[in-house]
Amino acid sequence: MHAEDPKLFGKVAVVMGGTSAEREVSLNSGKAVLKALQQKDVNAFAFDTAQCPLNELNDLKVDRVFNALHGRGGEDGQLQGALELLNIPYTGSGVLGSALGMDKLRSKLCWQGANMATPAWRVLSKSDDMESCASELGFPLIIKPALEGSSIGMAKVTNLDELTKAWQQASQYNCDVIAEQWITGAEFTVAILAGEALPAIRLETPHDFYDYEAKYHSETTQYFCPCGLDQAKENQLKQLAIDAFEILGGRGWGRVDFMLDEQQTAYLLEINTVPGMTDHSLVPMAAKQAGIDFNALVWNILETSIASEAS
């Protein structure tokens, strides 16, 4: 549903901050979203869940929530479940889509069940798993805590000692740890907005992979949009993104990340149901290529909360 009048949205809480490892990124996204909404005359205000209990949203007579809360507590179904109980519409995926999307392991299991390509992996539960994992998958590998975003806790490893150390470090995040086959090739991301795929972006970094530093601090990370693929291949990637997002129960908006190997096979890595939303983040970059400026993008995302409310 398209909204022409900002009053249609009512009072909007931009939920941000929180207590996850992605707190600072969330605050940056939330502040950018809030500024955009206020510039569009939406009655919006900031709401940091680390400072205010969610039930205050009812006391404040909030009509809907723009969710800019990254990581655990905001992107994993917890916030979504609480808002459902409070009967407050919100942007983005629901409880199931958020929970599955945040969990890299369960995402891969769902895609595997749908015969969609994702890099081979092993769950690392105990020290005895290291040798069998190395024997089965070989090196290099990428180690990932299953429930963290922004590449937090991830590491590339090339031998057994590095694998053990990376597993020990990733285990500190109190979730499943997976070792994933290293895919040699180019990394792409496709943003989804209201069921449509935006132009694909190709990422390049001199780092071993697109890690936290490369995402938020490095001046050497490069983004290509147009992505350099021919139109047929990009369209294929965009459709795969839509399918992968919907299989996990994603709705409203989000982002799907891929590796494209040297044979041009696309491997699904993960989805992001609350992507970064600063003016230099990936979704705004793709939207700009599609002719949608940042303020219009934020407005369009907020419109998805009306569609969610209607359903």
What H or E segment, with its residue span, contains residue 166?
Answer: helix 160-170
297: in domain: no
Same domain, 200 and 134: no
Residues 6 or more apart in contact with residue 37 via CB below 8 angstroms: 12, 14, 44, 66, 298, 299, 302
Same domain, 188 and 228: yes
- Side-chain-facing half-sphere of 233: CA atoms under 13 Å: 13
- Could you tell me the CATH number of the domain that includes residue 143? 3.30.1490.20
* SS percent in the chain: helix, strand, coil, step 5: 40, 20, 40
Instruction: Read off the tokens for 131.
Output: 């040798």
Contact 250, 192 (CB under 8 A): yes
309: in domain: no
Same domain, 107 and 234: yes
Residue type, 129: D
Give which of 193, 187, 201 is closest to 281, Cα–Cα: 201
pLDDT in tens, the chain (311 residues): 688 899 999 999 999 999 988 899 899 999 999 999 999 999 999 999 999 999 999 999 999 999 999 988 999 999 999 999 999 999 999 999 999 999 999 999 999 999 999 999 999 999 999 999 999 999 999 999 998 765 678 899 999 999 999 999 999 988 899 999 999 999 999 999 999 999 999 999 866 655 556 555 567 789 999 999 999 999 999 999 999 999 999 999 999 999 999 999 999 999 999 999 986 789 999 999 999 999 999 999 999 998 766 55
The two counts, helices (H) then strands (E), for the chain are 11, 13
198: in domain: yes
Give catalytic residues, as residue numbers: 22, 150, 216, 255, 257, 270, 272, 276
96: in domain: no
Same domain, 132 and 109: no
Of 53, 73, 91, the last residue of a domain is 91
Backbone torsions φ then ψ of 227, nearest 5 degrees:
-85, -10
- Could you tell me the CATH number of the domain that includes residue 282? 3.30.470.20
Same domain, 160 and 205: no
Q: Is the peptide bond before 140 cis (omega within 30 degrees of 0)?
A: yes
Contact 131, 60 (CB under 8 A): no
Same domain, 216 and 146: no
Residues 6 or more apart in contact with residue 31 via CB below 8 angstroms: 16, 46
Compute CA distances 43 → 36, 39, 65, whole Å.
11, 10, 11
Same domain, 177 and 194: no
148: in domain: yes
Against a cut of 0.85, is the pTM above it? yes
Q: Is 116 helix (H, G, I), strand (E, B) or coil?
A: coil
Give the single-character DSSP code of 88.
-
Q: Which domain holds residue 51?
A: 6-91
Of 133, 160, 181, the last residue of a domain is 181
Same domain, 108 and 252: yes
